[in-house]
Amino acid sequence: MTHFSLPDDLAIRGKNSGTIIMLVLDGLGGLPHPDTGRTELESARTPNFDALASRSSLGMLMPVGHGVTPGSGPGHLALFGYDPIESMIGRGVLSALGVGLALEPGDVAARLNLANVDVDGLVTDRRAGRPTDEDGRRVIGKVKGAIKAPDGVEVTLVHEKEHRAVLVMRGAGLGAQVGDTDPQRTGLPPVPAKARHPDSERTADIVRDLLEQTRGILSDEPVANAFLARGFAQYVRYPTFEERYGLRAVAVAKYPMYRGAASLVGMSVDGVPTSNEQTVALLEDHFGSYDFYFVHFKDTDSCAHDGDFAGKVSAIEVVDSLLPRVMALEPDVVIVTGDHSTPALYREHSWHHVPLLIASSWARPSAGEFGESACRGGDIGTLPGKDLMSLALAHATRLDKYGA
Amino acid sequence: MTHFSLPDDLAIRGKNSGTIIMLVLDGLGGLPHPDTGRTELESARTPNFDALASRSSLGMLMPVGHGVTPGSGPGHLALFGYDPIESMIGRGVLSALGVGLALEPGDVAARLNLANVDVDGLVTDRRAGRPTDEDGRRVIGKVKGAIKAPDGVEVTLVHEKEHRAVLVMRGAGLGAQVGDTDPQRTGLPPVPAKARHPDSERTADIVRDLLEQTRGILSDEPVANAFLARGFAQYVRYPTFEERYGLRAVAVAKYPMYRGAASLVGMSVDGVPTSNEQTVALLEDHFGSYDFYFVHFKDTDSCAHDGDFAGKVSAIEVVDSLLPRVMALEPDVVIVTGDHSTPALYREHSWHHVPLLIASSWARPSAGEFGESACRGGDIGTLPGKDLMSLALAHATRLDKYGA
């Protein structure tokens, strides 16, 4: 696995150079509003981002490839400098790391949905009516107390949020080439777990057995009476940020998924913020103890998924209002970008390039605004996502000259 | 052979999504006129292209690589999403497909020029005075009637146009590593066919024999008394548009060469237009029966080869005047670009990036003009030619998200 696009023998200069803060506004890139011709970011009042842009290198980030719409996993791996195609990892592993499970190489993880199935075995609700966290935890607890793991396999069940949970299997000879059991719509029976590769036959057998046991255990449970499993993935150890870049790194993120992606590359996670303000407060707490700070804001993406243009504009303005506190920490390099675009008009992740800003003493500024139009005329040009870290390290004067 | 730069496991979303029309103005990219500083495209009055540009994503297409001047074959393969280096194919195969021959894997094809050779064996006219199609056909017929194919080899001769014809050899153990016999200028003898690889020794022997027989057969023929052969190429089957993209595709092109390139990737060819107007009329006839329409206009390139700046400007204006009929079909995605640049001042294909426009509901517009200057400030940035199809599929919402 070659993750890093720098020459192999390009040396990291040392551990006492510049600090880097990477602010990720999830789904930042947008499309112009038909009435104004301005995207969400261009519509937002962002005096702080704009002032920063006037002394930053700007560009457009291409997370995975031309025309490729990234999921959150590949989007973040690219931001962290890991080739998102070569180091593709399934959602199950990200979710397991996100809930704080310490995975070992070979572990197979999947996401579970609590669901309702009728007397004919057809799915009536793929999310069990979105139960409260309390109900969700209770149902998972019930299954944990009664389920029997097959010989030689350790089974872990953890409730995540509402109808979502995580399943982890540990043991020799497991494989993750197992198809989803979620039929994707109601009125169909769950899909029996099926191996897509002979390596995973035994794992598929185990999953079928566990899901069958669950049906029995939950037969009288009113909230949910079945699990749907998806996103089977096997954990492989990634080279860490410290190993690859010499950076002691920490992640500050409200949502488990993004803490999971950060853990995957060896970032520390210490504390879970519950608001944007707390996110910055936790960054302030950590500042000085690490070299690299990954800070994640989710609301931009959530609003865009709802088609809420104005909501995404506001979410951007909230982060802008917190920027002075970030800058007051006086980091050497500040990056502002997204893991992908989620245009409010498109209501989904999209393939469009993402605005990118890199502020440092060594920036080559071009325009006094942070937005898609200014960024596409910026100094950086179109940057493949996986190359962002090398640019960040350069601005932090953490890379040696290549060759004499 | 990996042609497509998308991740291997990125799924094509389905067959019932958006329709795509790709308009290729051959050799579209140009260089500025010294008097005006405006390229051919920028000099042309193109109200329809400009209106379309104001609601399109713009960019610059790099057909093969920085500094690489593509031939028509690689240029078009790149537009179709096939890596033009890995899937390089010789002109002979393209010509054979262009005249409608059904090739089989292993067939070796070459282009033939009817030529004149004097009593000393020196070429006096490499194009036999550009004979009429009728004369050309008659000469080829004469050779076909008399030539003897070597044992185990099937030989096909087809007249193409004026002095041009195609030779196809079918049989076991043929190779295409055979040098051109065209000496490239008059006053020299034809170059004896020579193998460039041991695999092709027998094929070179066969070609020498066939060309010698031709000299005998045509010894009293006033129009042409020799063939010059070039562009030896072996046919390999390419994955089709339908296999790779789930697209039923059709090509509309006046010239055989471009229909050949389209056939190579499994596009249908049904009807041959003889004018630009007929080209659009044939597109109108086909519209609704396919998912992807490749529409080729040649005059831009031909004028530029003659150094005719004004002629190329007019050729662009002609296509612009036909654009409203294309748009009236209401395709979901319209692409306007070229397979390479042919600046009238340079009089040849060149390596310069080519203006690119992608119109769809999901475009991110920037400027109200279609031209090199506007395109280089566009949203797409510099796009490797082989990545155009993934962007087209994305705009047609035909690609799944990559990763969770």
Structure tokens at B375: 């395109």
Q: Does B364 touch chain A (CB under 8 A)?
A: yes
Q: Out of A65, A373, A377, whose CB is closest to B5?
A: A65
- The answer to whether A73 contacts B403, with C-beta atoms less than 8 Å apart, is yes
Look at residue A256 in the predicted model and tell me its pLDDT: 87
Chain A residues lying within 8 Å of B9, measured CB to CB: 88
Q: Does A76 touch chain B (CB under 8 A)?
A: no
Q: Out of A31, A70, A90, whose CB is closest to B402?
A: A70
Q: How much is the average pLDDT of B271-279? A: 97
Interface contacts (A, B; CB < 8 Å): 100
Look at residue B97 in the predicted model and tell me its pLDDT: 86
- The answer to whether A65 contacts B382, with C-beta atoms less than 8 Å apart, is no
* Low-confidence winner among A315-319, A333-337, B84-88, B289-293 (lowest mean pLDDT): B84-88
Residue from B10, B361, B364, B399 whose CB has the most chain A CBs within 10 Å, to mutate: B364
Q: Out of B378, B379, B387, whose CB is closest to A67?
A: B387
- The answer to whether A72 contacts B404, with C-beta atoms less than 8 Å apart, is yes
Look at residue A10 in the predicted model and tell me its pLDDT: 61
Compute the C-alpha angle A251/A253/A256, nearest 5°.
105
Residue from A41, A66, A88, A346 whose CB has the most chain B CBs within 10 Å, to mutate: A66
Chain A residues lying within 8 Å of B7, measured CB to CB: 64-65, 68, 85, 88
- The answer to whether B404 contacts A73, with C-beta atoms less than 8 Å apart, is yes
Q: Does A376 touch chain B (CB under 8 A)?
A: yes
Between A185 and B16, the more confident residue is A185
Q: Does A353 touch chain B (CB under 8 A)?
A: yes
Over 80: is that where the pLDDT of B219 sits?
Answer: yes
* Low-confidence winner among B194-203, B224-233, B361-370 (lowest mean pLDDT): B361-370
Q: Out of A68, A75, A377, whose CB is closest to B377?
A: A377
Residues pairing with B155 in the sheet: B169
- The answer to whether B7 contacts A65, with C-beta atoms less than 8 Å apart, is yes
Nearest alpha carbon to residue B175 among B73, B125, B107: B107
Q: Does A236 touch chain B (CB under 8 A)?
A: no
CA distances for B167 relative to A379, A386, B207, B215, angstroms: 52, 48, 10, 15
Closest chain B C-alpha to A378 CA, distance in angstroms: 10
Q: Does B379 touch chain A (CB under 8 A)?
A: yes
Closest chain A C-alpha to B84 CA, distance in angstroms: 17
Q: Does A69 touch chain B (CB under 8 A)?
A: yes
Closest chain A residue by Cα to residue B366: A373
Q: Out of A65, A73, A349, whose CB is closest to B390?
A: A65
- The answer to whether A351 contacts B391, with C-beta atoms less than 8 Å apart, is yes
Over 80: is that where the pLDDT of B16 sits?
Answer: no
Chain A residues lying within 8 Å of B364, measured CB to CB: 31-32, 39, 352, 372
Look at residue B86 in the predicted model and tell me its pLDDT: 78
Between A94 and B275, the more confident residue is B275
Between B48 and A71, the more confident residue is B48
Alpha-helical (H) ranges within A54-197 are: 72-79, 91-98, 133-146
- The answer to whether A64 contacts B402, with C-beta atoms less than 8 Å apart, is yes
Q: Out of B378, B382, B394, whose CB is closest to A67?
A: B394
Closest chain B residue by Cα to residue A59: B381
State how far the Cα of A109 lies from the Cα of A87, in Å rounded to an integer.
Answer: 16
Look at residue B4 in the predicted model and tell me its pLDDT: 43
- The answer to whether B403 contacts A377, with C-beta atoms less than 8 Å apart, is no
pTM for the whole thing? Answer: 0.82
Q: What are the tens digits of pLDDT across the range B368-392? A: 799 999 999 999 999 999 999 999 9
Chain A residues lying within 8 Å of B353, measured CB to CB: none
Look at residue B28 in the predicted model and tell me its pLDDT: 98
Closest chain B residue by Cα to residue A33: B364
Closest chain B C-alpha to A383 CA, distance in angstroms: 10
Look at residue B211 in the predicted model and tell me its pLDDT: 97
- The answer to whether B394 contacts A68, with C-beta atoms less than 8 Å apart, is yes
* pLDDT in single tens digits along all 404 residues of chain A: 334 455 555 667 665 689 999 999 999 999 999 999 999 999 999 999 999 999 999 999 999 999 999 988 899 999 999 988 877 777 899 889 888 898 999 999 999 999 999 999 999 999 999 999 999 999 999 999 999 999 999 999 999 989 999 999 999 999 999 999 999 899 999 999 999 999 999 999 999 999 999 999 999 999 999 999 999 999 988 899 999 999 999 999 999 889 989 999 999 999 999 999 999 999 999 999 999 999 999 999 999 999 999 999 999 999 999 999 999 999 999 999 999 999 999 999 999 999 999 999 999 998 779 999 999 999 999 999 999 999 999 999 998 888 76
Chain B residues lying within 8 Å of A380, measured CB to CB: none
- Mapping DSSP onto H, E and C, the string for chain A reads CCCCCCCCCCCECCCCCCCEEEEEECCEECCCCCCCCCCHHHHCCCHHHHHHHCCEEEEEEECCCCCCCECHHHHHHHHCCCCCCCCCCCHHHHHHHHCCCCCCCCCEEEEEEEEEECCCCCEEECCCCCCCHHHHHHHHHHHHHHCCCCCCCEEEEEEEECCEEEEEEECCCCCCCECCCCCCCCCCCCCCCCECCHHHHHHHHHHHHHHHHHHHHCCCCCCCCEEEEEEEEECCCCCCHHHHHCCCEEEEECCHHHHHHHHHCCCEECCCCCCHHHHHHHHHHHCCCCCEEEEEECHHHHHHHCCCHHHHHHHHHHHHHHHHHHHCCCCCEEEEECCCECCCCCCCCECCCEEEEEECCCCCCCCCCCCHHHHHCCCCEEEEHHHHHHHHHHHCCCECCCCC
Q: How much is the average pLDDT of B155-167? A: 95
Q: Does B5 touch chain A (CB under 8 A)?
A: yes
- The answer to whether A60 contacts B381, with C-beta atoms less than 8 Å apart, is yes
Q: Does B387 touch chain A (CB under 8 A)?
A: yes
State how far the Cα of A69 lies from the Cα of B394, in Å rounded to an integer.
Answer: 8
Q: Out of A70, A73, A372, whose CB is closest to B364?
A: A372
Confidence of residue B3 (pLDDT cuts 50, 70, 90): very low
Tell me B258's DSSP state: H
- The answer to whether B404 contacts A231, with C-beta atoms less than 8 Å apart, is yes
By the 10 Å C-beta count (0-12 exposed, 13-18 middle, 19+ buried), A362 is classed as middle
Look at residue A14 in the predicted model and tell me its pLDDT: 61
Chain A residues lying within 8 Å of B394, measured CB to CB: 67-69, 350-351
Over 60: is that where the pLDDT of B262 sits?
Answer: yes
Q: How much is the average pLDDT of B246-261? A: 94
Q: Out of B366, B381, B393, whose CB is closest to A67?
A: B393
- The answer to whether B378 contacts A376, with C-beta atoms less than 8 Å apart, is yes
Q: Out of A71, A373, A377, whose CB is closest to B402?
A: A71
Between B190 and B88, the more confident residue is B190
Closest chain A C-alpha to B349 CA, distance in angstroms: 26
- The answer to whether A67 contacts B390, with C-beta atoms less than 8 Å apart, is yes
- The answer to whether A352 contacts B362, with C-beta atoms less than 8 Å apart, is yes
The ipTM (two decimal places) reads: 0.80
Closest chain B residue by Cα to residue A88: B403
Chain B residues lying within 8 Å of A32, measured CB to CB: 364-365
Q: Does A372 touch chain B (CB under 8 A)?
A: yes
State how far the Cα of B104 lies from the Cα of B168, in Å rounded to an integer.
Answer: 10
Mean pLDDT of chain B: 93
Q: Does A351 touch chain B (CB under 8 A)?
A: yes
Chain A residues lying within 8 Å of B391, measured CB to CB: 66-67, 351
Q: Out of B389, B393, B403, whose CB is closest to A88?
A: B403
Q: Does B382 touch chain A (CB under 8 A)?
A: yes
Structure tokens at B346: 């340079």
Confidence of residue B85 (pLDDT cuts 50, 70, 90): confident
